[in-house]
Structure 1
């Protein structure tokens, strides 16, 4: 379940990027009741894209900001309370790690749901039901 963090260069100190990812992933796991789950924890993956100033936009105009994108099975981030809590906390994490310099209105997020059966764990494509079974075993 990838979490992609895209940043305009300089909105977070470089030494805070890994901290941001760790805290956002832990937030995602906690809000889904999966903290410490031996199957799901290593499968919540992430990467950071840092783009040069002048290469990120809002409304067609260059802007410095941050974007959080999740790609999950349809049962993840399905409850409104979880959506509000997770994306709200992720926004707070980035705002805090920027030293308050990255305004919250320059942090955007979205959640994408994948087609059932397309999750590859351990070299095997898994359905939502199979993922649920694997998570329950973890």
Structure 2
């Protein structure tokens, strides 16, 4: 499950990047009941994309921002409870990691779902049902 954290340069201290990705990932796993899952945990990957100052925008104006973006199978983030809890927790995690310098109004959380059958791990394309079955074994 790829996680991308997009931040304007200078918003998130470099020293906080690893723990921020870890905390965002742990929240995803915990809220989905998959904390410690031996199949999924090694396949939760993340990166921080730092965008130069003046190249992130909100309200049509250059603005410092942070965007938490997941790409997941369509069976993830399906319940309203998980969606609301994750958005709240992810916003808190990023806000804290930025030392409170980035307003919560400038932190967004997005989820994109992959097309069924195109979830590739180690060169194997899994359908949602195949991936779900593998996760149940972990």
**TM-score interval (norm. to shorter):** over 0.9
Task: For 1:60 and 1:44, locate their aligned partners in 2 and report how far apart those are by CA, in whole Å.
Answer: 33
For 1:55-96, what per-residue CA distance to the aligned partner results, in whole angstroms no more than 9, with x for missing partners? 101122100010011111111000010001111101100111
CA-atom RMSD, angstroms? 0.8
Structure 2: unaligned runs, 5 residues or longer: none
Task: For 2:98 and 2:49, locate their aligned partners in 1 and report how far apart those are by CA, in whole Å.
Answer: 16
Residue 13 (str. 1) matches residue 10 (str. 2): no
Residue 137 (str. 1) matches residue 132 (str. 2): no
Q: TM-score, normalised by structure 2?
A: 0.97
Q: TM-score, normalised by structure 1?
A: 0.97
Aligned equivalent of 1:3: 3
Shift of 1:19: 0.8
SS in 2 for 1:17: helix
Task: For 1:122 and 1:53, locate their aligned partners in 2 and report how far apart those are by CA, in whole Å.
Answer: 36
Residue 125 (str. 1) matches residue 128 (str. 2): no
Shift of 1:102: 1.1
Task: For 2:123 and 2:27, locate their aligned partners in 1 and report how far apart those are by CA, in whole Å.
Answer: 26
Task: For 1:121 and 1:111, locate their aligned partners in 2 and report how far apart those are by CA, in whole Å.
Answer: 19
SS in 2 for 1:55: coil
Shift of 1:99: 1.4
Task: For 2:134 and 2:32, locate their aligned partners in 1 and report how far apart those are by CA, in whole Å.
Answer: 15
Shift of 1:122: 2.6
